[in-house]
Protein backbone atom coordinates (compact mmCIF):
# COMPACT_ATOMS: atom_id res chain seq x y z
CA UNK A 1 0.00 0.00 0.00
CA UNK A 2 2.85 2.37 0.78
CA UNK A 3 4.38 1.57 -2.57
CA UNK A 4 1.14 2.46 -4.33
CA UNK A 5 0.80 5.83 -2.59
CA UNK A 6 4.42 6.70 -3.27
CA UNK A 7 4.02 5.75 -6.93
CA UNK A 8 0.89 7.90 -7.27
CA UNK A 9 2.55 10.91 -5.60
CA UNK A 10 5.63 10.56 -7.82
CA UNK A 11 3.40 10.24 -10.87
CA UNK A 12 1.54 13.41 -10.01
CA UNK A 13 4.60 15.50 -9.05
CA UNK A 14 6.96 14.46 -11.86
CA UNK A 15 5.18 16.40 -14.68
CA UNK A 16 5.37 19.54 -12.57
CA UNK A 17 9.07 19.05 -11.87
CA UNK A 18 9.98 18.63 -15.53
CA UNK A 19 7.51 21.14 -16.95
CA UNK A 20 8.99 23.83 -19.20
CA UNK A 21 8.31 27.33 -18.06
CA UNK A 22 7.83 30.09 -20.57
CA UNK A 23 8.80 33.70 -20.10
CA UNK A 24 6.89 36.46 -21.79
CA UNK A 25 8.78 39.67 -22.32
CA UNK A 26 6.88 42.84 -23.05
CA UNK A 27 8.75 45.86 -24.37
CA UNK A 28 7.08 49.21 -24.36
CA UNK A 29 8.38 51.95 -26.61
CA UNK A 30 7.25 55.53 -26.37
CA UNK A 31 7.82 57.84 -29.28
CA UNK A 32 7.04 61.51 -29.16
CA UNK A 33 6.46 63.26 -32.42
CA UNK A 34 7.46 66.87 -32.59
CA UNK A 35 6.48 69.07 -35.46
CA UNK A 36 9.50 69.75 -37.58
CA UNK A 37 10.25 73.24 -38.74
CA UNK A 38 12.60 74.04 -41.55
CA UNK A 39 14.43 77.31 -41.54
CA UNK A 40 16.39 78.36 -44.56
CA UNK A 41 19.21 80.75 -43.87
CA UNK A 42 20.98 82.51 -46.65
CA UNK A 43 24.33 84.10 -46.01
CA UNK A 44 26.22 86.22 -48.43
CA UNK A 45 29.88 87.04 -48.28
CA UNK A 46 30.77 90.68 -48.66
CA UNK A 47 34.19 92.25 -48.91
CA UNK A 48 35.81 95.53 -48.09
CA UNK A 49 38.91 96.69 -49.94
CA UNK A 50 41.43 99.15 -48.58
CA UNK A 51 44.74 99.58 -46.81
CA UNK A 52 45.60 98.25 -43.37
CA UNK A 53 45.84 100.96 -40.70
CA UNK A 54 46.14 98.69 -37.63
CA UNK A 55 46.42 94.94 -37.24
CA UNK A 56 46.46 92.78 -34.11
CA UNK A 57 46.85 89.08 -35.10
CA UNK A 58 43.87 87.03 -33.94
CA UNK A 59 42.06 90.10 -32.60
CA UNK A 60 41.29 93.02 -34.95
CA UNK A 61 42.11 94.60 -38.25
CA UNK A 62 41.23 98.15 -39.26
CA UNK A 63 41.03 98.85 -43.00
CA UNK A 64 40.79 102.32 -44.53
CA UNK A 65 38.50 102.07 -47.55
CA UNK A 66 36.63 104.53 -49.73
CA UNK A 67 34.14 105.27 -46.95
CA UNK A 68 36.70 105.63 -44.16
CA UNK A 69 38.18 103.21 -41.63
CA UNK A 70 36.31 99.99 -40.94
CA UNK A 71 37.13 97.75 -37.97
CA UNK A 72 36.80 93.96 -38.11
CA UNK A 73 37.10 91.42 -35.31
CA UNK A 74 39.23 88.45 -36.31
CA UNK A 75 38.18 85.08 -34.98
CA UNK A 76 40.12 81.83 -34.93
CA UNK A 77 38.58 80.78 -38.27
CA UNK A 78 39.81 83.86 -40.17
CA UNK A 79 42.64 83.13 -42.60
CA UNK A 80 45.15 85.58 -44.08
CA UNK A 81 46.08 84.48 -47.61
CA UNK A 82 47.90 85.89 -50.64
CA UNK A 83 46.59 86.10 -54.22
CA UNK A 84 47.70 82.49 -54.90
CA UNK A 85 45.67 81.25 -51.90
CA UNK A 86 48.70 80.45 -49.75
CA UNK A 87 48.51 81.26 -46.05
CA UNK A 88 50.48 84.36 -45.06
CA UNK A 89 52.39 83.81 -41.82
CA UNK A 90 53.99 87.26 -41.54
CA UNK A 91 51.92 89.87 -39.69
CA UNK A 92 50.21 92.48 -41.83
CA UNK A 93 51.83 95.91 -42.01
CA UNK A 94 50.20 99.32 -42.09
CA UNK A 95 49.73 100.43 -45.69
CA UNK A 96 49.30 96.96 -47.23
CA UNK A 97 46.37 96.60 -49.64
CA UNK A 98 43.92 93.95 -48.52
CA UNK A 99 40.47 92.67 -49.28
CA UNK A 100 38.55 91.51 -46.18
CA UNK A 101 35.80 88.95 -46.86
CA UNK A 102 33.13 88.87 -44.16
CA UNK A 103 29.56 87.71 -43.48
CA UNK A 104 26.86 89.14 -41.27
CA UNK A 105 25.47 92.59 -40.58
CA UNK A 106 27.63 95.58 -39.67
CA UNK A 107 27.24 94.99 -35.91
CA UNK A 108 28.26 91.31 -36.10
CA UNK A 109 30.67 90.99 -39.00
CA UNK A 110 32.49 87.66 -39.08
CA UNK A 111 35.74 87.69 -41.04
CA UNK A 112 36.23 84.59 -43.17
CA UNK A 113 39.51 85.54 -44.84
CA UNK A 114 41.81 88.44 -45.54
CA UNK A 115 43.32 88.51 -49.04
CA UNK A 116 46.62 90.39 -49.25
CA UNK A 117 46.64 92.10 -52.66
CA UNK A 118 50.25 93.29 -52.79
* Nearby residues of 61 by Cβ (< 8 Å), 6 or more positions away: 52, 54, 55, 71, 72, 74, 92, 98, 100, 111, 114
Name the pLDDT band for 27 (thresholds 50, 70, 90).
low
Average pLDDT over residues 50-56: 94
Do residues 104 and 112 make contact, with C-beta atoms less than 8 angstroms apart? no
Average model confidence (pLDDT) across the chain: 80
Name the residue with higher pLDDT: 45 or 88.
88
Whether the predicted pLDDT of 45 surpasses 90: no
Contact 45, 101 (CB under 8 A): yes
Banded model confidence at residue 32, pLDDT cuts 50, 70, 90: low
Count of alpha carbons within 13 Å of 2, Cβ hemisphere only? Answer: 0
Q: What is the pLDDT of residue 36?
A: 63
Q: Which helix (H) or strand (E) holds 65?
A: strand 60-65
Amino acid sequence: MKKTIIALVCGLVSPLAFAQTSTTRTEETTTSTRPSTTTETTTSTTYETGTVTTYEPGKTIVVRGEQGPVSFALGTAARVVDAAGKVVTAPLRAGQRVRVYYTGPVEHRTVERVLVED
